[in-house]
Each structure stands twice: as structure tokens, then as C-alpha cells.
Structure 1
Amino acid sequence: MTGSSPAATARPLAEAALDRARRLGARHASFRSERVRTSRLVLLDGAVHSGHDSTVIGLSVTVWRDGAWGFAASGDLTTRSARETAARAVEVAKAGSALGREEEPVPEPVHVGVWSSGFRVDPFSVPEAERAALPAEWSARLLAAPGVAHVRAKVVAVREDKFYADLAGTRTEQRRVRVHPQVVVAAGGTALRTVGPPTGRGWEYLLGEGWDWEAELATLPGLLRDKRHARPVSPGHYDLVVDPSQLWLTVHESVGHATELDRVLGHEASYAGTSFVRPGDVGALRFGSPAMTVTADRTTPHGLATVGYDDQGVAAQSWDLVRDGVLVGSQHDRRTARAAGATRSAGCAFAETALAPAITRMPNVSLAPAPGGPSTEELISTVEDGIYLVGSDSWSIDARREDFQFTAQRAHRVRRGELAGQLSGVAYRSDTRAFWGALAAVGGEGTYRVFGADLCGKGQPVQAAAVSHGCPTALFQGVRVRNTAGS
């Protein structure tokens, strides 16, 4: 691992904190020290509009003592602070034990290792002027194109350095880097943005490694023009061919969040919501059609939720959530695993920074393609009367992750197997199980791409997490479509 990391200064702090926690009776105790640096640059019509570069540092201690959990954190990275933080965490656990007992966290093998995400060029090693020059050049090129009145460009970069240690002997050091470039073009009250996703790569991503930005930027003016002249959709039921750039968000909201075990257990009821899934549904609930297989993992190359180890010292894993349309798994951590009947955590614990407690957070959740399956063009060719959706846009879903509505950046009419111009006002609305039950076919490996969200909120106080979702192009039959313009 190159560049500075908190490990060198964190190790003595960890030993001091863990020793104090052990002496005060903690059966389980863990220590985290983190440095999270975030840069955000926004340009309007080629000129810098805003920018910030911030760093959050801190340490925290989590303990389990006498059937209760305790957590405490500090922004003071000193040995004295580490010991005091451990003592406060134990006091929190003592207070909690009077309110009821929780089962002991499930065990995890001891791990000692150093891990880094798959980036080549640390974005923070790129001079600030160079980081601004590239989106400025993109903006100038688009502003020179016919029909483009305004351009908004942004580049977000995050570098997360973390050191973890616990009483069992685990000692891990990690570095994660992610970037998210985005460009929005607008004219006459209509806007269109790039669909290139945030990713666990470095600055090389903006130079075309992992996404063809040159090709996408070249298509934006024409697509914007077509969107401005799009015909309003007629409400009704349509066959939908959904591109992975749109479908990933539906996977995130209706499958990813619905299978988080803390939601299933009601732990998030007062803020992020619960789930229609019940604790006993694993292995029995028909979630969708037999064409639906969804995996969860922490190992996807360049995934936003990809790690070497989670924030409870659990090594990254991969497992099925839905297999052949049946719910077969859930997302849990060392605190909730026993409720799932598991003897080991799935490794889903994550905290936004060291100043926040780790909670169950979504791993990369992805819809599997069909081996040797059809191309996007072949799926479209099977549709007599339908719509092809590209790019995620607005969304709405109820607190139980059932009733939802989604829109797309672009909606293309499909007639007799061919694209026939863009439509406006397209929103598809359904119930989660009805929608996934309408899944008629998924594309092959050649249609599979990885998208995702870099600001998924959950918890109280709210924490943000980043997560990727891979999808093939998919065909859904007879889905209700409404016109958001009301016509």
C-alpha cells in the first residue's frame, strides 16, 4: 500500500484501547482508526462553481460485555484518548445491559492482512488544476455542440484508509478509492446526464479505463435533442426491456434493501424502513420468476462495497440472496447473524467513518446474466409493443420495500422489435414480487455491466455508504406504465 495510512500511528492506540477494554471486563472488543478524504468539484458551463476537499479522522472502540454492546469514538488520536474511549464504550455497554441482553456475536477466524481496492492512480495525487481541466474540457466540447445550452460537470473522489484490530488477534489495514464523474447537458427545460457510474477505480477511470467517456459524451447532444422532442407516453401495460444502467437502481431498492436482516427484524423501522420479507422466509419465499438469481458479495472487482474485511473484522465473501426466483439468503453481520440461523457473519458491517458505529450495510448486490443468453438487440427484437429504458432517474418506494415507481433518463418506444423514437413522462409502477415475477428473460454475459450508488443513506444518525450493482439487460412482460405529466 502506497501513500500515508493510519496503521503506523494506530497500532499503539489499538493496543492501549483493547487492553483497557479487556481489563474492564469486555469479552469482545474491536478498535478502528480511519482517515476518510473527500474531494468534490462542480463546474457550471465550464467554470468552477464550487469545490471542497475535506478529511475526517478518528478512532472508535466497540465492545460486547455482559450481553450488551457499547460504542464510543473520538477525534483525538492519542493513547490517552484511546484508553478513555474504550472506557466510555464499556460504560455504554453496562448501561445497555440493564435494558436487556443480546446474544454473543458469532465467531470469526483471526485475520492479519493488508488490502487495497483496484485503483491505479490515486486521484489525490493528481494536481488540482489537472482535476479541474478535464471536466472543463468536456464542458467546452459539449457547449460547442448544437442544441446544448448548459453543462454541469462534477467529479467526486474519496479515499478511505482504515486500521482494524480486535481482542481475538485480527489486525487489518485497508485502503479504498472511488471516483464519480458525471455530466449533465440541458436545453429548453430538458436535461440529460451521463450514465457512467461511480466506481472503485482511480483517476484512470476518467481517462477511459473502465468506461468510454469519449463515446458517451459524443452521443449526449443528439440524445438531448431527441428527448426534447419526445412524444408523451400513453399509460398502459407494456413489455419493458430494461438496460442495466436503469435496472441497477431497482435491484438496489427492491432487492438489496429488502434483504437486509436488520430491516427484516424491524431495527430500521423508525427511519430507513422495514421489509416485506419475514425472518422465516429464507428458503421459502417466491421473490421472482425462475430467471431471477441475485448474488451478494464484497469481492466484485472495482465494486463500491468491495472490501478485504468488514468493520467487524470479517473477511469478504460472496453468497446468493435469490436463486431461481426463491429467496435463499440475507445480509447480516456478527450482531445479527444468529437471527438468520448462521454460525458466521456474511461480512456486512460498515460505518461511514470511525466516528460512527458499524451497522448492517449492503454488499454489492447483482442480478446474474444468463449463460449464453441473448444480446440487448435480441431482447428488443422479441418485443411487439414495449419500451426500452436507459439510465436511472427518479424513484419512490414504500417503507416495506413493496410498492414502487421508477423513471429513466431515456425511454425509447419499441414497435415490432425495433426502436421507434423517445417517449416522455414514462414511469413504471409495480409491487416488488409482481415486478420480479414478470421477469421473462435476462441477457447474456455481454449485456452485463456494473453500476451503483455512492450515497446510500441509512441509520440514525444517518450514515452514507457506497454500493455497486451488476445487471444484464432484462425483459419484463406486462408492467404498468403511467405518464408522470398526467396526460
Structure 2
Amino acid sequence: MVELVTKNQNQLLAQQAIELIIKTGCEYGDIRICCYRNQNLGATDLSLNQLSDNINSGFGVRVLYRGAWGFAANSVITSETITKTVARAVEVAKGTLLSQRQPVRLAPVEAYIDSYVTPILIDPFSVSVGEKAELLLSINQGLLSYQDQGVKKAYGFLRFNREEKIFASTEGSLIEQTLYRSYGGYGCTAIANGDAQSRNYELPPLNQGYENINKQDLLENVERVATEAIAKVNAPDGPSGITTDLVLLPTNLWLTIHESVGHPTELDRVYGYEANFAGTSFATTDKLNKLQYAAPWINFKADRTQPGGRSTLGYDDEGVPAQEWDVIKDGILVDYLTDRETAHRLGRGSSNGSSFADSWSSLPMVRIPNLGLEPGSDGGSHTASVEEMIADTAEGILIDGIGSFSIDQQRRNFQFGGDAFWQIKNGKVTGMLKNVTYHGMTTEFWNKIVAIGPESSWQQWGTNMCGKGEPMQIAQMTHRCVPALVKDIHIGKHV
């Protein structure tokens, strides 16, 4: 009953803000009233060393006055602070107008009166902290049972989020959303011969409830993780300064997609809005529908409707409905990730709903949605299982998990590591390696992919820690993908 009253009150306050914005003469305005709950547990060895459960709420008002943005926020949600914050946002817009080079224009969007809740089976906040802690400590105890063989450190984590927000705009939208996210994983470090190496295992970070924390799966992988950490620390270093073939599992490939396909196609980055902090992009608009970004059998699709996707929701933070669209089609760059401002600048009639703010106190900006590598067509000449990729490789490396990475300001030149590596010789996996990185140029790399996995090998990996903006904002997204076989990639040693 209390929650219902609070929601009704917030709806009235949101409508109050919109009425005030309209009276100021602004051509556009919106408000987001948000409440976030974040619960994090961490365990090292046999101790629970992290436990936090925080609730954070407030609202942000954004206005467009004569083509200039103004924004103000407040952590106290009352009628009085709504009035003051709207006035402050308008004041900021008028100040911004003095240095505005070109007026901001927005692609149109329809008004929506709607609500959305992430489908979940088990509310993660209904499960006791004790049960969660017991799971982490049981996993660590299992990992540490391999101490005699070299495992010296064990660690694990569980993270849960609930995001509640009301969005209202001067265009008539009133949208309520509740998003749930869950994530968990663990790892261990083995020491031998003056070296230390880690092996990790994670569940995909998904928009799901506690059902995503599969206790049986986590416990069943403890032995494998421990023994692979031991094998890794005793393995030889990978080759350096050569080119070789790579079989990249989805656990590794998702990060390459994120950095070399996701960020370069954010249209605000393309237009230089991020040049002062996180760089620009080589994928400029003159290349649209022309650039051979990847091999002709490679397709990347953005999809904010994908079940379980970390960026899945009903509407973005500008009230634009979730949708799916092609970014790379048959290897060609065919679209970008847009908000209403960049969509208008590109000449589009609508945004594709890629606007997101990580807090009530943050301005929405273009963020990568769920962006994935589509599977190959079963039976196609460029479709193969991981086993077939390995069998087709005379000399190469199989890579699982993520490690170190870097990429230049324009997202052209990159290097990626991994969490585990196996040498392939004459179509067979022959043993583990360590300290491997691969290097490449974005379009060259994606054009060297000769085979991708079928739909049955699709996996939903992604991140909950994508940083962008100044001040920094954190977002999350899924990069559902299939395994890939890449030819003639430069390998270097990770130091």
C-alpha cells in the first residue's frame, strides 16, 4: 500500500514538473524520478569481505530552451523541490544558449502512457543475505580444497540491482519501468614456479531475478576452474610476434564486439561529442551504407527487446520504445546507435532508442544497447561448430574468457587478452598456454572471420561496467554472440 501511494505521488509530481516546464516557454522538457537498489556481496577465501545494500533516489529535469539544453537534479522529491529544480534547469538552458553554436533539434516521438517490468521468477531481494553468503563461501571452500596443488586464493561475488523510474515529457508521455538485474561469478589464483595465474567463471549478467544464479551450475564448475588455474600457471607462455588462427568463444568475443563495433557506432561519438574524453570513431557518416566493416557473412544486430538482455527494457530514457535494428548487415555498416538529438542530425525520422542515464542526477546520452553477432545459417559454407573450427585449424589458439584490453581513440587499432588459452595443432587441442594477447585493426579483423557458430551456440555475455562520459556514467549491455574462427591474427605476449 505504501509503495502504491508513493508511485501515485511521484506521478503527480512528474505531471507538476511538466506543467511548470510548459509554462516557461521551453520547446521541450522531461523528468525522470528514479529509485535504485544495489546489493553487492563479495567473498575472499573463507570470509565475506563485502556486503552492501543501498537505496538511492532522486529526480532529474531536462529542458530545451531555444535549442539549448538545461539540466538540474535533486535528491529530495517534493513539490517544492520540483518547482525549484525546474526553474534551475531553465536557468541553465538560458546560460547555455549564450555559447550554443547550433540549436539542438530532436527527432519526433509519439506520446506513450505505459509501464514495463522485467519478467522475473524470483525477486533477488527476497532471498536472504545468509543464503547468498553461504553459496559464495561454499564455492570458495571447494576452490581452496586444491591448495596442495597450487590454488592459493579464492574469490566470488553476487550483484543484484533494481531500477525503478517514472518518465514524463511535455510531449505527453508518462512511463513507469522497473528493471531487475542479477550477476554472479568466482575465480581462483594458483601459484607455482614464481608465477601466479587466475582462472574465472561467471554467469552471464542478465536482466533476470535470482533464477539467474544457478547454484548447481556454479558448484559443478568448481573442480574445472581450480584444475585449469593449476594447469595455466604451469603452462608455457603463448607465442609472440607471429600470426596464427584463433577460435574465439563467446565468453571472449563479446568484449571485442563491445569495443570495436559497439562504441564506434555510437552516433554521439561519431559526431565528436566524446572527443574530449573517450575518443571519436573511424566509422563516420560518409561511410554509411558503404564501409565493408566485416566479412559478407557477418551481421550485427542491436536489440533492446532481447529476453534477459542487460540493456533490455520497455523504453529508453527519452521515452522511445525498445526496438531492434541492423547495425552491420552482410558486412556493411548500415546504421548507428542514436538518441533523439543525433537521429535528427543524421536526418532520421526517429531515434532507435539508445538513450540512457545511469542515475537521476545524470544526463541521458547514447549508450550501446544489446548488440550481438548473429549466428551463421545452419549448413552454410561459413557456419561451423567449435569442434569443426578446431578440426579445420592446423595451427592456432582457442581463447575463453576476457583479460586485458586496449583500443585507440578512434576504435581502429586494438589488443585483447583472455582468461584461458589452449594451443591447437593439426586440428586438435594439445594443451594450455598463458600470457596471450591478439592484436588487430577493427575492419581488418572482422573481415578475417571465416566461420561463425550456428544458432545453437548463441550465448548471452556482456558487461555491467561500461564507462562513458565526463563525469563518468556506467551502463550495462549484452553482446549475444556465437563462436568465431579468425585467420592470420597477430599474437603478442601479455606482460
Determine if the TM-score, normalized by the shorter chain, exceeds 0.5: yes
Partner of 2:367: 361
Percent identical among aligned pairs is: 33
Partner of 1:427: 437
Are 2:70 and 1:70 aligned? yes
The CA deviation at 1:68 is 1.1
Tell me the SS of whatever aligns to 1:149. Answer: strand
The CA deviation at 1:96 is 1.8
Q: 1:381 to 1:3 in 2, by over 3 A?
A: farther
The CA deviation at 1:240 is 0.5
Q: How does 1:126-275 map to 2 (within 5 A)?
A: 126-145=127-146, 147=149, 148-188=151-191, 189-207=196-214, 212-235=217-240, 236-275=242-281
Q: What are the superposed Cα offsets for residues 158-187 of structure 1, whole Å, 9 maximum, x if unpaired? A: 111111111111111111111121201112
**Segment of structure 1 superposing worse, 4-13 or 86-95:** 4-13
Partner of 1:328: 334
Name which of 463, 470, 473 aligns with 1:463. 473
Partner of 1:445: 455
Q: Letter of the aligned partner of 2:264 in structure 1?
A: A
Q: Distance in 2 between matches of 1:8 and 1:465?
A: 28
Tell me the SS of whatever aligns to 1:94. Answer: helix
Q: Distance in 1 between matches of 2:398 and 2:3?
A: 45
Q: Letter of the aligned partner of 2:91 in structure 1?
A: E
Q: Distance in 1 between matches of 2:360 and 2:119?
A: 23
Q: Distance in 1 between matches of 2:60 and 2:5?
A: 16
The CA deviation at 1:271 is 0.8
Q: Is the 8 A contact 1:64 1:70 kept in 2?
A: yes
Q: Letter of the aligned partner of 1:205 in structure 2?
A: N
The CA deviation at 1:212 is 3.1
Q: Distance in 2 between matches of 1:312 and 1:331?
A: 14
Partner of 1:55: 55
Structure 1 residues without counterparts, runs of 5 or longer: none
Q: Letter of the aligned partner of 2:107 in structure 1?
A: V
Q: What are the superposed Cα offsets for residues 10-48 of structure 1, whole Å, 9 maximum, x if unpaired? A: 111111111111101112111110001111111111211
Count of aligned positions = 483
Q: What are the superposed Cα offsets for residues 109-134 of structure 1, whole Å, 9 maximum, x if unpaired? A: 11111111132212111122122111
Are 2:315 and 1:314 aligned? no
The CA deviation at 1:419 is 0.5
Q: 1:103 to 1:50 in 2, by over 3 A?
A: closer
Q: Give the ranges of 4+ consecutive aligned residues of structure 1 lying more than 4 Å apart after TM superposition.
A: 2-6
Q: Is the 8 A contact 2:448 2:487 kept in 1?
A: yes
The CA deviation at 1:102 is 2.0
Q: Distance in 1 between matches of 2:121 and 2:166?
A: 21
Are 2:32 and 1:21 aligned? no
Tell me the SS of whatever aligns to 1:77. Answer: coil
Q: Is the 8 A contact 2:21 2:170 kept in 1?
A: no
Coordinate RMSD, CA, aligned: 1.7
Partner of 2:347: 341
Q: Distance in 2 between matches of 1:171 and 1:427?
A: 48
Q: What are the superposed Cα offsets for residues 87-111 of structure 1, whole Å, 9 maximum, x if unpaired? A: 1111111122222332421111111
Structure 2 residues without counterparts, runs of 5 or longer: none
Name which of 408, 428, 431 aligns with 1:418. 428
Q: Is the 8 A contact 1:393 1:406 kept in 2?
A: yes
Q: Distance in 1 between matches of 2:344 and 2:115?
A: 29
Q: Distance in 2 between matches of 1:362 and 1:433?
A: 19
Partner of 2:111: 110
The CA deviation at 1:149 is 2.2
Q: 1:228 to 1:5 in 2, by over 3 A?
A: farther
Q: Distance in 2 between matches of 1:23 and 1:330?
A: 35
Q: Letter of the aligned partner of 2:412 in structure 1?
A: E
Q: Distance in 1 between matches of 2:104 and 2:82?
A: 26
The CA deviation at 1:4 is 7.0
Q: Letter of the aligned partner of 2:129 in structure 1?
A: E
Tell me the SS of whatever aligns to 1:121. Answer: coil
Q: Is the 8 A contact 2:203 2:212 kept in 1?
A: no
